[in-house]
Structure 1
Amino acid sequence: MAGEGERRRDLASLPKAHLHLHFTGSMSIPTLVDLAERRDMELPTKLVDGVALDVPYNKRGWNRFQHLYDVARAAVRGEHALRTVVRRAAEEDAAEGSRRLELQMDPTSYASSVGGLQEALDIVCDEAAIASAATGVQVGIVVAASRIRHPLDARTLARLAARRAGTGPGEVCAFGLNNNEREGRTEEWSGAFRIARRAGLPGVPHGGELRGARHLAQVVEHLEPSRIGHGVRAVEDPDLLSRIIDRGITFEVCPASNVHLGVFRDVDDVPLTTLLDAGASVALGADDPLLFQSRLTDQYELARSVHRLDDAGLARLARDSIRASFASDDDKRAWLADVDAWLAEELDF
């Protein structure tokens, strides 16, 4: 644990992987404003002022978030916008020490503005490869289905994702399931995840955030994930938590979003240390910085300042994120060595 007055290393230079970041939500406010102006689109003041979800605990929740996310997504239309989102996400991560970014998107949301699902994914993957070369951050794409659409749509997306499966820059590295956890029956999406797995694509569905441990158990059983988006409610069932850990499933924990969505009242209520003490693999993520106004390094700062992790503990989180990424083994070894070098740095007193 970090001690009072202790000199600490720069978190922005800590090598890490960013495994939980959504496409539209990855934008900064200036990027959103720029894209909206190109469409002559008026944005709500609270969205551009950065206070969209800064509300009392009893007013937080999914519906407020989803409404504002939909408004922001309406600004992302056309090839230029899609490329801009990818490029700037890579640039933001480069400034935060990321070695690998796995950016999650549902092509359905953008297909109509570029001619179809295939075209939307092709543009995003192409720009991911370009941005990787330009920034030094390796950008992979996670294709994610939505719980508010029919499970057959998810199978279409899984087949689309399979055509571009791979671990390198600009390739589709995983298949996910997002949006409101309260929607649908989880087992109905199992077919899509089977299609993805046959193509070598690991599953990274959301679960265990808006709904509790019982629902999370269904996600684990039916979708057979390699990582869980959030998963923090696993602590409500120690047996489930143990099973998830035993299966080697990594938790993508996003502290700021858990608070802004009303899952927990305060950041210190997020069970980060409970997960770590149980032996879980945890990768911190920013989720949707546009609405939560908290980027990747901010999550590490919360782990340091609120959860009292020292630099060794923060390095553990960074290593977990790298190991849980879908990059090549050679890349992982190189990045893990970079983490060791960061931790070995001498501090000036």
Structure 2
Amino acid sequence: MSTPARRDLRTLPKAHLHLHFTGSMRRDTLVSMAAERGIRLPRILHADEALHVDATRRGWFRFQRQYDAARHVVDGEEAMRRIVREAAEDDLAEGSGRLELQVDPTGYAGHVGGITPALEIVLDEAERTERALGLSIGIVVAASRTRHPLDARTLARLAARNADRVVGFGLSNDERRGATSEFAPAFRIAREAGLASVPHGGELLGPDHLREVVDHLHPDRLGHGVRSADDPRLLERLAAQGVGLEVCPASNAALGVYPSAGDVPLRRLREAGARIALGADDPLLFGSRLLAQYEIAREAGFTDAELAGLAADSIRLSRADAETRERLLAGVAAWLDAEPTVRSRG
């Protein structure tokens, strides 16, 4: 029997707010660059399969080992520029009108002469690519929980000096590492420069950790934040404060946070009033890009109107300029007004 016609999610305007630099790479790009450099990759990075680990320290170590192996291939300006350009091309092909790409310059500084030139390369290529493709691009500078909080302050100052082109400041890596409160001074520097506060939180650890992130880092958006669903009062607080959640269903499942992408509590979060921006996180490792996250939501029962609401949330939560936001939101409304054209068989 045939199912009701639906609208094409590829043509739904959306913003992509949770995408990591190296993790955005195409698998073919990584494999070809590794071959050119004579670098041997772990099997999973050149096999046609997605990473799946347990939500344990050992599982995270396995994930981080694969990520570090991929980053080892990114050995200079040419490779860095290629990553920015291809990430934008892939997003544009999936209906994204705004990309906010997250990068820790520390991971590439050794190849290009320091964290300042590393960031400059990314910013310059983002501007070039934006002009060439017409995709609005912002850059988020992210510190790592595995490094000293003073390093985070250094990155925050670098981000602040480039506040005309950098749009946010984040904190990533294993949530179980570092004391959240010790990163507060770095986020204060970023906020005073007008940057969005976009730390990770509430993925591997639950509500107690998430409250620390909210209290000390004052997020505008949370990277993930899905574990707020474990505490209705905390979730109500996030919704009331308008804190956006960058939810990445495929990645949550791949890291063992939930048994499957369909088990990520999107419906519960949405019904509590949370503003959600779907993201792909690290498609290189998890095997799915932005469009797939919307398909996951559709499979979980979200109607076209609800999917349009998610896309509109992602646009409003972005740091795109007002003209870009208005244009994309008008596109979302037009998508919903159009007649459904996609029909599948069940």
After TM superposition, the structure 1 = structure 2 runs for residues 98-137 of structure 1, keeping only pairs within 5 Å, are 98-137=96-135
Alignment partner, residue 90 of structure 1: 88
Matched, 1:304 2:302: no
C-alpha contact (below 8 Å) 1:60/1:261 kept by paired residues: no
Alignment partner, residue 266 of structure 1: 260
After TM superposition, the structure 1 = structure 2 runs for residues 1-349 of structure 1, keeping only pairs within 5 Å, are 5-54=3-52, 61-166=59-164, 171-305=165-299, 307-348=300-341
C-alpha contact (below 8 Å) 1:53/1:64 kept by paired residues: no
Change (3 A) 1:251 1:58: closer
Identity %: 59
Change (3 A) 1:172 1:308: same
Aligned residues: 342
Give the Cα–Cα distance (whole angstroms) in 2 for the partners of residues 70 and 193 of structure 1. 25
C-alpha contact (below 8 Å) 2:54/2:255 kept by paired residues: no
C-alpha contact (below 8 Å) 2:180/2:213 kept by paired residues: yes
SS of the residue aligned with 1:61?
Answer: helix
Which structure is higher in RCO with an 8 Å CA cutoff and minimum separation 6? 2
Give the Cα–Cα distance (whole angstroms) in 1 for the partners of residues 211 and 149 of structure 2. 19
**TM-score normalised according to structure 1 size:** 0.95
Superposition deviation, residue 42 in structure 1: 1.2
C-alpha contact (below 8 Å) 1:323/1:332 kept by paired residues: yes
C-alpha contact (below 8 Å) 1:142/1:172 kept by paired residues: yes
Alignment root-mean-square deviation, CA:
1.7
C-alpha contact (below 8 Å) 1:322/1:332 kept by paired residues: yes
C-alpha contact (below 8 Å) 1:60/1:262 kept by paired residues: no
C-alpha contact (below 8 Å) 1:61/1:260 kept by paired residues: no
**TM-score normalised according to structure 2 size:** 0.96
Change (3 A) 1:212 1:198: same
Change (3 A) 1:55 1:147: closer
Superposition deviation, residue 36 in structure 1: 1.4
Superposition deviation, residue 52 in structure 1: 4.9
C-alpha contact (below 8 Å) 1:147/1:181 kept by paired residues: yes
One-letter code of the match for 1:322?
A: I
SS of the residue aligned with 2:17?
Answer: strand
Superposition deviation, residue 57 in structure 1: 8.7
Pick which of 33-42 and 69-78 moved more: 33-42
Gapped regions of structure 2 (runs ≥ 5) = none
Runs of 4+ off more than 3 Å: 54-60
C-alpha contact (below 8 Å) 1:148/1:183 kept by paired residues: yes
C-alpha contact (below 8 Å) 2:50/2:287 kept by paired residues: no
Give the Cα–Cα distance (whole angstroms) in 1 for the partners of residues 56 and 80 of structure 2. 35
One-letter code of the match for 2:31?
A: V
Give the Cα–Cα distance (whole angstroms) in 2 for the partners of residues 220 and 233 of structure 1. 13
CA offsets per residue over residues 195-220 of structure 1, 9 Å max, x none?
Answer: 00111111000000000010000000
Change (3 A) 1:11 1:182: same
Change (3 A) 1:226 1:36: same
C-alpha contact (below 8 Å) 1:57/1:265 kept by paired residues: no
SS of the residue aligned with 1:110?
Answer: helix
